[in-house]
Amino acid sequence: MTYAPNPVKKTLKDGKPVLGIEFMTESHRLIEIAGWAGFDYIQFDMEHTPYSFSEIEGFVRTADGTGMTSIVRVAETTATNIRRVLETGAQGVMLPQVRSAKEVRDAVAATRYAPTGTRGMCPVTRAARFSEPTWDEYVRWVEDEILVVALIENPTALEEIEEICAVPGLDAVGFGSGDMGQSLGASYCGMADPRVRAAFERVTAAARAADLPLLAMPTINNDPFASVQSLVDEGVRLVTFDADALMFKRACSDIVAGFQAISVEDTALGAK
């Protein structure tokens, strides 16, 4: 078979959780490190970075070499953005700031070819292996293996959350506590704010009723895995642990804080 199955979709169908990392830097070495460390998927963020489509193709190629599933968070939910990231060979697409079921239906259609979708066809792409003879096989692979995730980050989406979760072809919904908090006037409090917590519970209930996996990020504190356990207990199956840049920043901050806490005796050498 020319096109391998999407391992994350298989794991989710088995009801098991998967672990991901958000990628916001430019290092191919970090992609390889994350993949070889054992992350199941990597989430390339085009919404909050200056990434080009050419860069995304390179990142996806590197991730492929480690066996990680690549999911691209498009800058905006448009058919053109969706088509271009999928043509890089990405196995999934993340839709930011969705507000309606119609928007999600249109986005799902943009991931598929006719007769089930509206995506423009072209066999001369990396995703299609630059091959006309295997085109029909690729079209079948797209129908079965592309992962579509809708991010619920705005209160407007809550008004249609049950309908959103029922959209055919949608594979998961994600909850963005940061943007949801901003929209609700909770600033960066996230899940600590009762309004954000209530929104999360509403999304969770809708996803559970539709038998749809949920994506969320844990709270990174002194015991982040307690947060991960809590999310998994509540039905989260795609755990995006953190962003690579934030991981590095936290590690650097801890080192600097530790260094600054070191007591240096006022010796002749130390006084120089």
| Domains of the chain and CATH, by start | 7-260 (3.20.20.60)
Residue with tokens 């240096």: 264
If pLDDT is split at 50, 70 and 90, which confidence band does 69 have? very high
Q: How confident is the model at residue 190 (pLDDT cuts 50, 70, 90)?
A: confident
Does pLDDT of 272 surpass 80? no
Give the model's pLDDT for residue 186: 80
CB 64 within 8 A of CB 70: yes
pLDDT value for 43: 98
pLDDT in tens, 232-243: 999 999 999 999
The two beta strands, 18-23 and 172-175, are unpaired
Q: Is 82 a residue whose pLDDT tops 80?
A: yes
pLDDT of res. 183: 86
Average pLDDT on 143-157 reads 97
Q: Token digits for 270?
A: 């130390």
Non-local (6+) Cβ contacts of 239 within 8 A are: 17, 18, 19, 20, 215, 216, 217, 218, 228, 231, 232
Q: Is the pLDDT of residue 152 over 60?
A: yes
DSSP strand pairing (41-45 vs 69-73):
parallel
pLDDT for the residue 267 = 59
What are residue 238's DSSP bridge partners?
Answer: 18, 215
pLDDT for the residue 188: 72
pLDDT for 271: 52
**Burial level of 195, CB count in 10 A (0-12/13-18/19+)?**
middle
Residue 270 has pLDDT above 60, yes or no: no
Q: 92 with 71: CB under 8 angstroms?
A: yes
pLDDT at 221: 83
Query: CB neighbours of 141 closer than 8 A, spacing ≥ 6?
Result: 3
- Identify any residues that bridge with 174 across adjacent strands, giving them in sequence order: 151, 215
Q: How many Cβ atoms are within 10 Å of 14's Cβ, its own excluded?
A: 8
Measured CA distances, 142 to 76, 100, 119 (Å):
21, 24, 11
Residue 219 pLDDT level (bands cut at 50, 70, 90): confident
Give 216's strand partners: 239
